[in-house]
Amino acid sequence: MPRTDELRLIARVARMYYEWNMRQSEIAAQLDLSQASVSRLLNRSKEEGIIRISVNLPQGVYTELEEILVKKFGLRDAIVVDSLEDNEKLIQRDLGAATAYYLESAIRPNEVIGISSWSSTLLALVDALHPLPRKPGVKVVQILGGVGNPAVEAHATRLTSRLAQLVNGDSVYLPISGILATEAARDVLMADAVVQEALGLFDQVTTALVGIGAIDPSPLLAQSGNIFSQQELALLRQQQAVGDILLRFFDRNGHLVETGLEKRVISMSLEQLTKVSRAVGVAGGSRKYAAILGALRGRWINILVTDQFTAARLAKE
């Protein structure tokens, strides 16, 4: 047990540092101690319970919940967004804004940003993103076929072109449908030189921005025409599929569901996605819960952006 005179010195150093805002060098000079001794005494002040440090989290900040998700699912990071209610449209807006803020601080020179087409949440990201200072070598590449119904095709193009404009980078399009009628048609179109340019960048992507889809497609995806038929979706359900990333389907435990349908898809593979330094999955809401859980269990993404309602359910799994 420390002697009283030692405790007195520890307490005095702690008051000078924490209450009087003195620097360690100033304390050392005044008390005729070495700076190393001051540092040691400050550490002792915590060990002896003289100083207790607590962090008061602001309302709407879910740091503890984020830390639980990171540890539970082996993530690089988790961003839990405050949303007023479990409403899909509101959540999409809030997730888009939070991901935009993350992206603004994450982009580095020579970044290759992969972005999935046909995601309303990623559209909200682009709408919320502020123009960034130019950094050399930045590229934005579509990692899911961006051709579909002409009435909504502008969405896919806008995602890539507008994001590239905001980050002052070059855009590389994947001018082909996400789903082809047959495997043979997919093979033919994948040999196209323009398509090959985009495909060749998949392994160079450093930051991937992807939505996480439920079996029932979102309105934007459904309107695009890049969906499987009802019979094919029924087949996926029979195989216990719960959701997809880049039209690659998986079950509740994250295992890929292989029905042959995946051979008609043109997108980055999930194996490629796992090699991306920042594979950011952006999704929330009760409709997508099973899909988000499967994506985490499969470790197909290493950064999750979701709402606090979904995060709380995931933490209890």
- pLDDT at res. 58: 64
- Return contacts of 50-59, CB within 8 angstroms, 24+ apart: 50/7, 50/10, 50/11, 50/14, 51/14, 51/18
State the average pLDDT for the chain: 91
Taking the CA atoms of 144, 271, 253 and 100 in sequence, report the sign of the dihedral they define. Answer: negative
Cα 20 from chain centre: 41
Kindly tell me if the per-residue pLDDT of 56 is higher than 90. Answer: no
Do 25 and 107 belong together in one domain? no
Closest CA to 206 of 131, 137, 297, 290: 137
96-112: per-residue pLDDT in tens? 999 999 999 899 999 99
Taking the CA atoms of 177, 179, 181 and 184 in sequence, report the sign of the dihedral they define. Answer: positive
- pLDDT at res. 57: 56
- pLDDT at res. 28: 93
Task: Specify if 55 maps to a domain.
Answer: no
141-194: per-residue pLDDT in tens? 999 998 888 767 777 777 899 999 999 999 999 988 889 889 999 999 888 888
- pLDDT at res. 118: 84
Do 37 and 176 belong together in one domain? no
Token match 């960048």: residue?
201
Do 41 and 187 belong together in one domain? no
Which of the two residues, 177 and 3, has the higher pLDDT score?
Answer: 177
Q: Concatenated DSSP letters for 156-220? A: HHHHHHHHHHHTT-EEE---SBSB-SSHHHHHHHHTSHHHHHHHTTGGG-SEEEEE-EESSPPHH
- pLDDT at res. 43: 92
Task: Specify if 54 maps to a domain.
Answer: no
Token match 């042959």: residue?
260
Q: Structural domain of residue 134, as residue ranges?
A: 63-316
Do 188 and 229 belong together in one domain? yes
- The CATH number for 276's domain is 3.40.50.1360
Beta sheet of 241-245, edge-to-edge order:
213-214, 241-245, 248-251
Which of the two residues, 84 and 257, has the higher pLDDT score?
Answer: 257
Integer Cα distance of 150 and 155 in angstroms: 10
Task: Specify if 149 maps to a domain.
Answer: yes
Task: Specify if 200 maps to a domain.
Answer: yes
- pLDDT at res. 199: 94
> CB–CB of 215/234 below 8 Å?
no
Do 12 and 78 belong together in one domain? no
Task: Specify if 296 maps to a domain.
Answer: yes
Task: Specify if 227 maps to a domain.
Answer: yes
Confidence category of residue 131, pLDDT binned at 50, 70, 90: very high
Do 162 and 234 belong together in one domain? yes
Do 36 and 174 belong together in one domain? no
- pLDDT at res. 38: 94
- pLDDT at res. 88: 84
7-52: per-residue pLDDT in tens? 888 988 998 999 999 999 999 999 889 999 999 999 999 888 888 8
- The CATH number for 37's domain is 1.10.10.60
- pLDDT at res. 87: 82
Do 24 and 109 belong together in one domain? no
**Mean pLDDT calculated for residue range 287-310:** 97
Task: Specify if 29 maps to a domain.
Answer: yes
- pLDDT at res. 59: 65
79-100: per-residue pLDDT in tens? 999 988 778 889 999 999 999 9
Do 106 and 172 belong together in one domain? yes
> CB–CB of 227/125 below 8 Å?
no
223-250: per-residue pLDDT in tens? 887 788 899 999 999 999 999 999 999 9
Do 68 and 113 belong together in one domain? yes
**Residues shown for the chain:** 317
Count of domains observed in the chain? 2
Beta sheet of 278-282, edge-to-edge order:
77-81, 303-307, 278-282, 207-211, 112-115, 139-142, 170-172
**Cβ neighbours, 10 Å, residue 152:** 17
Kindly tell me if the per-residue pLDDT of 203 is higher than 80. Answer: yes
Taking the CA atoms of 284, 128, 164 and 279 in sequence, report the sign of the dihedral they define. Answer: negative
Which of the two residues, 219 and 200, has the higher pLDDT score?
Answer: 200
Could you give the 3-state DSSP secondary structure of residue 147?
strand
Kindly tell me if the per-residue pLDDT of 1 is higher than 80. Answer: no
Do 179 and 37 belong together in one domain? no
57-77: per-residue pLDDT in tens? 566 789 999 999 999 999 999
Confidence category of residue 265, pLDDT binned at 50, 70, 90: very high
Task: Specify if 265 maps to a domain.
Answer: yes
Do 145 and 79 belong together in one domain? yes
Integer Cα distance of 229 and 119 in angstroms: 19
